[in-house]
Amino acid sequence: MSIADNIARIEERIQKACDVSGRKRSEITLMGVSKFEPVNKAEEAFRSGIRCFGESRVKEAVTKFENFRDEYPAALHLIGSLQRNKAKQAALFFDCVQSVDRLELIHELVKHSAGRETPLEILLELHTGEESKSGFSDFDGLFKAAQSVLESGNLKPLGLMTMAPFTADKDIIRSSFRRLVKAQGELEKRFPSCKMNGSWVCLSMGMSNDFETAVEEGSTMLRIGSLIFKE
Ligand SMILES: *Cc1c(COP(=O)(O)O)cnc(C)c1O
């Protein structure tokens, strides 16, 4: 199976999940998670229609994507946890950091994105399942983070990200995604979306093993690695 074939199969499954839940395919971005993959595979995915890539490590992403975007206009998102000493490089290199999970990191990103031409886009990561460790652990922490992002001026919030527990139990996965949707609703109440300063509309949830459930629960961005890049 080629990458093009893999993507075609995934597209069919996304369309089915959209049909089941009365959603439009156009509301959803399919990200290619290219971590650990060589750059030629990302190029192949681009040629099959992928316009957004996710990487989990700053150094690896910089090495791989340094020249990529000159030829292949795609967005590049950081999806792995970000250490403070890499915040500067990340703030200058990525289009979006999805793994914003603590106030200290927001302050670092604000400081280092001052030199950018366009605001750094961010998602706030919420911890919604037992197995993953990253993300704000409660709504209160999330609200404080949202406030801090909105006051910063340099960062543009797009929405929320989460990782469901790795399990075959659909109910556990579903409740994890529902918690993210609930958080989005609360954020909208407290900090209504405004185009100029960003919004909370992006829900980055769903990976290779749970993306159909994520579509059914309202995901607007699927982060898929193995199903695209592995045989
Ligand atoms: C690796 C990774 C993915 C992709 O996982 P697959 O199961 O390979 O699709 C998505 N999101 C995050 C945060 C990841 O680290």
Helical segments of the chain, H only: 3-21, 39-47, 58-65, 68-71, 87-93, 103-112, 139-152, 170-190, 211-216, 226-229
How far does residue 211's CA lie from ligand 1's centre (Å)?
11
Q: Do 125 and 99 meet the contact criterion of CB atoms below 8 Å apart?
A: yes
Looking at residue 131, what is its pLDDT?
66
Residue 221 forms beta bridges with which residues?
A: 29, 204
Residue range 3-39, pLDDT digits in tens: 999 999 999 999 999 999 999 999 999 999 999 999 9
**pTM of the full predicted structure?**
0.97
Q: What is the residue whose two structure tokens read 């790795």?
A: 166
Q: What would the mean pLDDT of 135-162 be, rounded to a whole number?
A: 95
Please tell me the distance between residue 151's alpha carbon and the centre of ligand 1 in angstroms. 31
| The pLDDT of residue 195 is above 80 | no
User: Ligand 1, from 29, 33, 34, 203: best to mutate by most atoms within 8 Å of Cβ?
Assistant: 33
